[in-house]
Amino acid sequence: MATSGGYNYRNGTQRGSLKVDKPLSVNSNTKSVVKSKPLSASGVRRNSTGSLGGATGPPKDDAGVLGRVRVAVRLRPRNAEEKVADADFADCVELQPELKRLKLRKNNWDSDTFEFDEVLTEFASQKRVYEVVAKPVVESVLDGYNGTVMAYGQTGTGKTYTLGRLGEEDTAARGIMVRAMEDILADISLETDSISVSYLQLYMETIQDLLDPANDNISILEDPKTGDVSVPGASLVEIRDQQSFIELLRVGEAHRFAANTKLNTESSRSHAILMVHVKRSVKGRDPTLLNENGNSSHMIKTLKPPLVRKGKLVVVDLAGSERIDKSGSEGHTLEEAKSINLSLSALGKCINALAENSPHVPVRDSKLTRLLRDSFGGTARTSLVITIGPSPRHRGETASTIMFGQRAMKVENMLKLKEEFDYKSLSRRLDIQLDKLIAEHERQQKAFEDEIQRISIQAQNQISESERNYADALEKERLKYQKEYKESIKKLEEQLLMNQRSYGSEKGTYGPKDDSSNLMSNKENLSAAKEVDELKELLQKETLLRKAAEEEVTNLKSQVSEWKRAEAAGNTEILKLRKMLEDEERQKEKLEGEIAMLQTQLLQLSFEADETSRRLERGGPVKVLGGLDSLMTQVRSPQLKESGTEEKASIAKLFEQVGLQKILSLLEAEDADVRVHAVKVVANLAAEETNQEKIVQAGGLTSLLMLLQSSEDETIHRVAAGAIANLAMNETNQELIMAQGGINLLAMTAAHAEDPQTLRMVAGAIANLCGNDKLQTKLRGEGGVKALLGMVRCGHPDVLAQVARGIANFAKCESRASTQGIKSGRSLLIDDGALPWIVQNANNEASPIRRHIELALCHLAQHEVNAKDMISGGALWELVRIMRDCSREDIRTLAHKTLTSSPTFQAELRRLRIDF
């Protein structure tokens, strides 16, 4: 073994090692790590804002950050027994903490020197131990990484002391578990974040729940794709304060199985594993914060899934690593010791394999290694503290512990940020929001109906009261006329009596008359009485008539005034009701729009969530797609088509619930976010062949084309062009697009677009149009070919592939037209200057580009009229190459046929002495 050397590990990069025969090399599978920028002292790169991994949004790719397993060695002070027994002997180790070195004595004159990341003497405080061993790991966990802190060493050397001391009577004695939770609780906000804890022990290859000992056969779940390890059967207790955590540790400790051994009366015979899950919401992404005032349209505008970071801290207190013969174990404890040694030796083997970059790491040999799979060579940040005692009697164990630590230092982990969108909580919140909106709508509806009922009751009461008043007034009027009539009759009768009287006195005054005069006067009297009766009767009739007429007039008058009053009241009431109705209608429409938006967004999110989970399942990078791409991929991919019944059901549900017209109307929404969402949904729908006709019939194609013109938003351009490209796969739609000036709009979009994906969609749409025989001349006349060629400026292979496809389509149709005699003269592609680009890209390394260009060249070469230009443009060489080297036999044959059948090509080939 080497005994000297000044190598050091700093900042997670390895500079050398004393104890390694061959120089250490970084694992080959970790090559993607940036080496030029400094890493933080804790060995993990921090960005300028101090956050680990530098990510504030969702993870952009799957690459992690390299982090070597960091190893500290801690020496326990001599205990009472050692002070007596070893009094005449020096410690077996000598520590040089300032050099981070440890010397292991071989004998009085020779020692081996080892270097560690930290060397902690017997005087090191618990606080310092926490700060150098665990604090950086805890910080990583708070930043969304997984982290492991582990103690390894011979029994009785201080593993539990280092990790598990509760320090209730003496706070300075608090161990790593307690201090870690203090730091976590201090850093998080309990309103938005959460901590949950599991506490397990692994004893004789059985995992037992220390918080629920009856639960003693917990299985380990390993995600084959991500390597993440979980124990779904374990109790998970939410922690909200330090006291409850201490209580939980105490309960766990009480259950921890401890067997006495000769070496340590409280020796822990099981491995204890504490798992702390920290879930933090990334600030500014919580939709509930945006909706306190109930303003749902504001919520829709800013609706984004909340982002959460999930870090997991695993603290492992391994059982003692002593040799069986020394521990004095027998019987049952011998089995224990064997089992402990088996799992620890399996751990040692894995670490050796990882340290040596061996292709096979025997993780499956024990439950311990399966549980710690993520901590060595995985995605967690790992810190190991190896504990040793000073006694020379245990030099062998101390040496083996030191070697274990040295090997562990060579293990590289690839730290990965565990950040994800919390779709579930967003969906839950949206559901609640939706419920609230529906409830609010129902409440308003109810209030409206109540108001209508109240108004009609009030109107009814008013009418009854008016009727009553009218009847009273009528009665009064009748009584008044009756009285007047009686009085006038009475007056007339009095008058008549007076007349009769005055007539009688006149007769007495003038003496008795003769008979004839008597007869005369009798006759006169009779006729006067008759006259009076007639007059009376007349008067009576007159009075009755007048009374009836007056009644009629009064009646009419009151009717008129009543009618006027009712009309006035009715008019205001009607106006009021009408206004309320209009308000209600508006409110209803708004709510319907918002509900439709929420539903479309939910659908969009579920597409994205499906895509994300599919990607997770496939082990690919977790990238949030813009909906369109993801759905297009889903719809086009045949295997997904089979399993895509859910997506189809979602689309059908969308049609059913929201209605196409509603979705299309949202394309013209004032709110830009709503427009973007709507166009994404239409694009998703357009990717499904069965929906295309409905979309076109409902005016969706026109709206999408209009969006290219009216919108300035690049996302809208990209997604709308994608949708148009999908619709342009159908011949009828191609004609419609052309008829609606689509080529101009696509050309205009292409001219202004910067984003390669927008250009890809536009080029894809034009490429589809290029394949329609009937549209050739019009398409070229309106600048379609030029627009296509203009897009090659972007240089992105996806765009170039679409351009090449368009040119191949165009050349094929043109060639067909020439063969049928519909077209004559040189190719319009050559006229529009496409040849140089075609020749330049004929042997492009990207096969989709190359294949289309090769086809285009063969189509052009079939017509003698193009031959001269093709020769001068260098296309002949490419044709010869295609004929010889093209991987597709049909294209090779086509090239051969064109070259042999063209006299111009033949002559040139002869001139160049090219024989084939």
Ligand X SMILES: Nc1ncnc2c1ncn2[C@@H]1O[C@H](COP(=O)(O)OP(=O)(O)OP(=O)(O)O)[C@@H](O)[C@H]1O
Q: In the chain, how long is the greatest CA-to-CA distance?
A: 195
| DSSP label of 98 | G
Closest approach of ligand X to the CB of residue 257, in Å? 11
Q: How far is the CB of 154 from ligand X (least distance, A)?
A: 7
Cβ closer to ligand X: 157 or 291?
A: 157
- The tokens describing 273, both together, are 């594993």
- Binding residue for ligand X, selected from 14, 264, 818, 902, defined by CB under 6 A: 264
Residue 156 found at the interface with ligand X (CB under 6 A): yes
Annotated ligand binding at 893? The verdict is: no
Strands 101-105 and 93-96: antiparallel
Residues 290-349 that bind ligand X (CB under 6 A): 319-320
DSSP H or E run through 656: helix 645-657
Q: Which is nearer to ligand X, 113 or 401 (CB)?
A: 401
Residue placing its CB nearer to ligand X in the complex, 266 or 617: 266
**Part of the chain binding ligand X (CB under 6 A), chosen from 40-48, 150-158, 308-316, 768-776:** 150-158
- 8 A C-beta contact, residue 113 and residue 102: yes
Instruction: Give the chain's radius of gyration (CA, Å).
Output: 49
623 is in an annotated binding site: no
Q: Please, what is the minimum distance in Å from the beta carbon of residue 83 to ligand X?
A: 12
CA torsion angle for 328, 330, 333, 338 (degrees, to 10)?
80
Residue 886, φ and ψ in degrees, nearest 5: -60, 140
Backbone angles phi, psi at 685, to 5 degrees: -65, -40
Cβ atoms within 10 Å, residue 196: 14
What is the number of other CB atoms lying within 10 angstroms of the CB of residue 452?
Answer: 13
Rounded Cα distance, 349 and 344, in Å: 9
Nearest residue (CB) to ligand X, 148 versus 844: 148
**Which of 5, 77, 232, 836 forms a contact with ligand X (CB under 6 A)?**
77
Select from 43-51, 152-160, 734-742, 832-840 the region that touches ligand X (CB under 6 A): 152-160
Three-state secondary structure string covering 721-769: HHHHHHHCCCHHHHHHHHHCCHHHHHHHHHHHCCCHHHHHHHHHHHHHH
283 has binding-site annotation: no
Element (H, E) at 104: strand 101-105
Cβ 677 to ligand X shortest distance, Å: 58
Q: Single out the segment in contact with ligand X by CB under 6 A; choices: 73-81, 210-218, 574-582, 834-842.
A: 73-81
Q: How far is the CB of 392 from ligand X (least distance, A)?
A: 18
Q: Which stretch binds ligand X (CB under 6 A): 151-159, 566-574, 684-692, 846-854?
A: 151-159
159 appears as a binding residue in the annotation: yes
Considering the complex, what minimum distance in angstroms separates the CB of residue 163 from ligand X?
8
> Closest by alpha carbon to 358, among 371, 374, 376?
376
| 30 known ligand binder | no
The residue (of 301 and 393) whose beta carbon lies closer to ligand X is 393
Cα gap 75→93, rounded to integer Å: 9
Task: Specify the residue, 318 or 724, whose C-beta has the smaller distance to ligand X.
Answer: 318
Contact range with ligand X by CB under 6 A, out of 261-269, 397-405, 634-642, 696-704 = 261-269
Q: Which is nearer to ligand X, 58 or 167 (CB)?
A: 167
- Contact window for ligand X (CB under 6 A) among 108-116, 263-271, 495-503, 515-523: 263-271
- Nearest CB to ligand X, comparing residues 126 and 684: 126
Write the DSSP assignment of 406-418 as a string of letters. Answer: HHHTT-EEEE---
What span, in angstroms and rounded, lies between the C-alpha atoms of 46 and 64? 12
**Pairing state between β 307-317 and 419-421:** antiparallel
Element at 207 (helix H, strand E): strand 206-209
Among 27, 113, 198, 267, binds ligand X (CB under 6 A): 267
160 is in an annotated binding site: yes
- CB of 261 or CB of 898, closer to ligand X: 261
DSSP string, 457-510: HHHHHHHHHHHHHHHHHHHHHHHHHHHHHHHHHHHHHHHHHHHHHHHHHHHHHT
Calculate the CA 767 to chain-centre distance: 33
Measured from the CB of residue 396, what is the shortest distance to ligand X in angstroms?
16
Residue 268 contacts ligand X per CB under 6 A: yes
Question: In this chain, which of 59, 136, 144, 153 binds ligand X, going by CB under 6 A?
Answer: 153
Give the nearer residue to ligand X in terms of CB position, either 268 or 599: 268
Closest CA to 149 of 316, 306, 7: 316
Place of tokens 């009285």: 483
Residue 157, annotated as binding a ligand: yes
Residues binding ligand X: number (CB under 6 A):
18
Place of tokens 């090509």: 905
Residue nearest to ligand X (CB): 158
Residue 295's nearest CA partner among 191, 440, 192 is 440
Please state the closest distance from residue 8 (CB atom) to ligand X, in A.
25
| 522, 523, 526, 532: CA torsion to nearest 10 | -120
| Distance in Å, CB of 160 to ligand X, minimum | 3
Smallest distance from ligand X to CB 87, Å: 18
Give Cα separations from 83 to 138, 226, 388 (angstroms).
Answer: 36, 50, 16
Per-residue x/- track, 717-746, ligand X (CB under 6 A)? ------------------------------
In the complex with ligand X, the residue whose CB is nearer, 320 or 348, is 320
CB atoms within 10 A of CB 528: 14
- How far is residue 211's CA from residue 244's CA, in Å, rounded to a whole number? 13
- Residue closer to ligand X by CB (options 149, 195) is 149
Piece in contact with ligand X (CB under 6 A), picked from 225-233, 260-268, 648-656, 704-712: 260-268
Is 145:55 a contact under the CB 8 Å cutoff? no
Neighbours of 104 (CB within 10 A): 18
Name beta bridge partners: 912. none
Q: Which stretch binds ligand X (CB under 6 A): 65-73, 153-161, 613-621, 862-870?
A: 153-161
Q: Which of 159, 279, 418, 780 binds ligand X (CB under 6 A)?
A: 159
With CB under 6 A as the contact rule, the residue among 161, 199, 203, 423 that binds ligand X is 161
Residue among 391 and 841 whose Cβ is closer to ligand X: 391
User: Identity (one letter) of the amino acid at 857?
Assistant: L
Give helix then strand counts, H and E, for the chain.
34, 19
Q: Does 542 bind ligand X (CB under 6 A)?
A: no
Tell how far CA 73 is from the center of its chain.
45
Main-chain dihedrals φ then ψ at residue 115, nearest 5 degrees: -115, 140
Ranges within 374-433 binding ligand X (CB under 6 A): 387
Residue closer to ligand X by CB (options 42, 160) is 160
According to CB under 6 A, which one of 14, 27, 113, 155 is a site residue for ligand X?
A: 155
Give the nearest distance from C-beta 237 to ligand X in angstroms. 24
Which member of 14, 42, 148, 160 binds ligand X (CB under 6 A)?
A: 160
Q: Which stretch binds ligand X (CB under 6 A): 76-84, 343-351, 356-364, 366-374?
A: 76-84
Give least dist CB 69 to ligand X, A: 20
Q: Are strands 271-281 and 307-317 parallel, antiparallel or unpaired?
A: antiparallel
887 burial type by CB count under 10 A (0-12 exposed, 13-18 middle, 19+ buried): exposed
Least Cβ distance, residue 798 to ligand X (angstroms): 59
From candidates 67, 158, 722, 784, binder to ligand X by CB under 6 A: 158
37 is in an annotated binding site: no
- 330 or 475: whose CB is closer to ligand X? 330
Binding site for ligand X (CB under 6 A): 76-77, 79, 153, 155-161, 264, 266-268, 319-320, 387
Q: Which amino acids are annotated as binding site for ATP, given as ranges? A: 153-160
Annotated binding-site residue numbers? 153-160
